[in-house]
Structure formats: C-alpha cells, structure tokens
Structure 1
Amino acid sequence: MTAPAPAAAAAALTTGALARRLGVSPTTIRSWESRYGIGPAHRDPGRHRRWEPHDVAVLEEMCRLTARGVTPAEAARVALAVAARPAAPGTPPLPSPAVPAPGGNILPVGTVRPECRGLARAAVRLDAPEMARILRRSIDDLGAVTAWTEVMTPALRAAGRKWAAEGERCVEVEHLLSWHVAAALRRAADRADDRAGRPPGPAALLAGTPTELHSLPLEAVAAGLAERGLAFRMFGPALPPEALLEAVRRTGPPAVLLWSQAARTADRALAHRVARTTWGPHGARTGPVVLTAGPGWAGPRRPPGTLRPRDLATALDQLERLLR
C-alpha cells in the first residue's frame, strides 16, 4: 500500500484528538458518523480513522449548528451540503436551518456539552428511551461525577428555570428528567458493584440533612464511589437528626457526607454533633470525619470538626483518602 504523504499524515487527526479539539466525546463523533454519514472521506484498510482538514471542517460546522439548537439530523444535512458545494465566486449561501426561538418548547441550556443539549431536547419531547441512552453513554464515557456536573446538572437547572417561569406547563419535563437521572446513576452504581463485587472495608455514610429533599447529588456521589470500588451506605434525603446519629453509632463510618442544597437546610449544629459522635471501647474510641457538601453550606462559618469540599469531585477524593 502507498503510505500517505507526510504533510497529509501530519495534518490528519485521530478520533480521540479530534474529539478533544471539538470538545465532544469520541462516542458522539462515532454516533454522528453511523447515523448521518459524517465520517472521514478517506480511510485506509486496517488503520484507525484519520480525519483530514476537510473532514474536520464538516464536524466543526456540525458542532456550530447543534450549539445553536439545530437538531443533529438537520445540522448534518447542512454541514454535508456546505462541504460538498464548490466555493465558486458569487455562489449564494445555502439557507440556514431553522433555529428554535427562545422560549417555547425548548430548554435553553447555554454553552454546554453536546450530550447535555441532546438530553435537554429529549426531555422536552418526553423521549424516555433517548434520555436513558444519552445518560448511559455519558456516564460510560465521562464517569458518573463528570456526567452529573457537565451533562445532567445544566439540563436539570434549565428544566427548573422553565418550570419556575411557566408553572405547571413544564413540570412533567422536570419530573421525567429527574427520574431518569436518578435511575441512570443508580444503575451505574449497581453495575460498578457487580463488576467489582461488594467492596471490602469501611463504608461512607451518605445522607441529606433533615430538611433537605434533594437526593440526586447523593446518587452521583454513590455512583462515583462505586466506580472507585469504595463502599457506602445511602440513607437518602431528609434523614431525621436522631436517626442520623443512630446510624453513625451503629455503622461506625470513617466518613459522613451530609448534603445541603440551600442555606435553609444546612444544619451546622447537627453536623457538629455528628462529628463528635464516637464509638468503640473506652480508650480506643473513634469518630467520623464529616464532609459538609453542597451549596447550602457556603459561608464563612464551617461547623467544627468538618471538611467542606468545593465540589463533588473533591468530595470523592476526600472520601477515598478516608476510606482507604
């Protein structure tokens, strides 16, 4: 076989390098290729795909259009047509595809990953199978915590804003999206447990403060711990104070993560009580390290004897050090 010219070989990109350049996942690029025929113009048998400048330009146009809210199918049609059309002087441009107007039946998510835009579009359509597929792929490609931060959270916030602005008209979107996010995170935790077996050693205790009703961030932490092969006990949101203290005494966790979404649910006195709870024989008693996680704990006063991770990735790193 004839080797490609050195200049062409140097200019060509692998799928991974192209994904990093465009800010999308390699899975997204492969999906666009299989669904819409957006792939390398030339491919050598037995070699990995190599994306040359012409191919890259098509994908850049695809990303530009989908970022504006154009559906992937329509964006692919226009991107391929632009690439195939000769750039003769005086040639009129192709008509731009329709971009959804603000409001209406869309979730404005801003500048986010393509997976998040796809999730938001599927949520508005109440397309449950597509939502499940995007969430599963996002967790597989990015990991649970990155998928939560960069894909799920922006879509959930957009659904919450739309619900607040339009009332009950869009509550079904937020409910369906929340259920699928919780299901995807729980499946990810179960799959990780199935692969690694039940992790040995001590387990972290995960709970929401007594008046905290948000549970999805706790599910993201649980999935992240399972991916790292770390054990946890999930007690969910709104765990009453005495039940929380009893759970700490009975299970003896080296670490307790307490989630608070808003300042009104951050119980600093309770966090201090948990940090002071001890167990074990006299002379060798020990207690947990308490992580006060979530935006509700923001502010200058940190409960004594606690840590305040700045985000879920930091919380996972701290939990891993404590559990190892």
Structure 2
Amino acid sequence: MTGILDSVNQRTQLVGQNRLELLTFRLMGRQRYGINVFKVKEVLQCPKLTVIPNLHRLVKGIAHIRGHTVSVIDLSLAIGGRPTTDIDKAFVVIAEFNRSIQAFLVSSVERIINMHWEAILPPPQGSGRAHYLTAVTNIDNELVEILDVEKILAEIAPVDETMDANIGAEIAQAQMDKPTVRRILIADDSTVARKQVERAITSIGFEVVSVKDGKEAYEKLLEMASHGPIDDQIALVISDIEMPEMDGYTLTAEIRRHPELKGLYVILHSSLSGVFNQAMVERVGANSFIAKFNPDELGHAVKTALIN
C-alpha cells in the first residue's frame, strides 16, 4: 500500500486531457467509492487514534502522522452509514482539500484507475445517497460513487462565507470607470461549493448563472453566444476543475478555441492543490487560479477580472 502513490508526480500529464485517476475504496459495505488521486497525499494503515473530549461526532480520533496532528474523519458515518469497525484493519486516506489536510477513515483501499472525465457522470435522480454525491461512474460493471467531500467538511467545520464589504465598494468603483455586465457564470459539481460562491458573488451585487459541470457550462455559453456578443451577457466565468463529463481545464481550453467565446475571462477555483496548478492554468489559457474557499480572495480576483 505504501507504494500506491509512488508515481503520482508522473500523473500530471493527465490533467488538461479531460482525464483523471481514481483511487477506489470501500466503507462499511459492498459499495465502491472513488477519490481523485491528485487530492491524495498518502494512504496508510490506520495508526493509533487518540480520543479527546468534545470531538465532532464524525471524527473518530486524532492521529499523529509525519509530525502533524490530524483529525481522522469516519467517512462511512459522515455519509449516514454505519460507524467504521475493525479500526486496526482499516486505512486512512490523507488528502488535501481547501487548503487543509484531512484524514478519512475507510474500511479498505483497492487500486488506482485511469479514467476519462466523460465517463464520470452526475448522480442519477432519486439516488439514495445523492445528498453526498457529486458523481458516479462504472468500473468493472460496478457502480462507483464519488463523494462530495466539500459538503462533508463544511458540516464538520463550516467556513466563513462573508466577503469584506470594502471589496464590493472597490468593484463598484471599478465598474464606474469601466462598466461591464453584472452577471457571472459559476460551474461546480459540489452543491455546497457552488452555493458558497453564489452567496459571495451575489453579496457584491452580481447576478449568477449557475451550472453543475463543465459540459453544461460550455453548452450554456454557446446558447448565450447564439443570441449575441458574449461580452454583453456575461462578465466572466468561475469554474471548478474537477467536474463530471468535462473538467474545468477542458472547459477553459474549449472556450479559448471558440471564436465567439475566446475573449472570456476565466477563473479556475478548485480544492485541488499542487505545484502543477499554475502550469496548467497557463497551458489551457485560464486567467487565474484560486484555491477554495476564501471569499475575499475570490472578490479580489473578480475585481482584477473587471479591471482587466
């Protein structure tokens, strides 16, 4: 298991080709789940956990890993399942989301699978655990569920969504000097993340066009362009990177290739981290990258977009 991520640094060429690699695992049952390898730092046998008073009910305990103290979240319990048992035989997936390190307790870890984002689909309507899903896929004729980790983390440690009022005033001043349409397209497959961005953007007086993946975003932009110049209808695009059917890198590349869309300002806004991000931003032609989720940084990025 220690070698399962040895080649992660060689996997960055998949980004920008609408491809990803999923690390698959199981919780308390037969259902398989997946997480993007780029978010995973390490997988290891569950270490000794320390239970301290007043822990959140979803946190199984505290672990000391590589000189850091991390909370170990029981992923099965977090999505409404049974608490994880046989801790000594369980594993922890160390991942980085939204600028912080988390440890997720899982029953077993299986393998890494190379996939195309087109094979990652939105969850079916009416699925029982859709409340915690961002996507599903089929591997070896078996349904694999991709969890909305951002929703789980928001329930454990809610983030401050309030944007500094001064930023709104600065944006208003910038628009007096250079008027633009006050509408922004937001693409994100996580309901929680999408709502966070929507609230931040509407708080500074913008209308929001909200979609759940890159494919839907591109189709919406094409529809707008068919009715007239895109700059008269939308100020900029804020897009997640990881999304079913079409990721944010591919969306940006498609925008740059289209003669009627290529001038759009694109901000990539993602929980993904890593040194490859800036290189990929430049490669696909995005204007900027922001790690989730800081409303003030998002506001400053919008202001920069409007000034430019």
Q: Tell me the TM-score normalised to structure 1 length.
A: 0.37
Larger gyration radius, structure 1 or structure 2: 1
Q: Tell me the TM-score normalised to structure 2 length.
A: 0.39
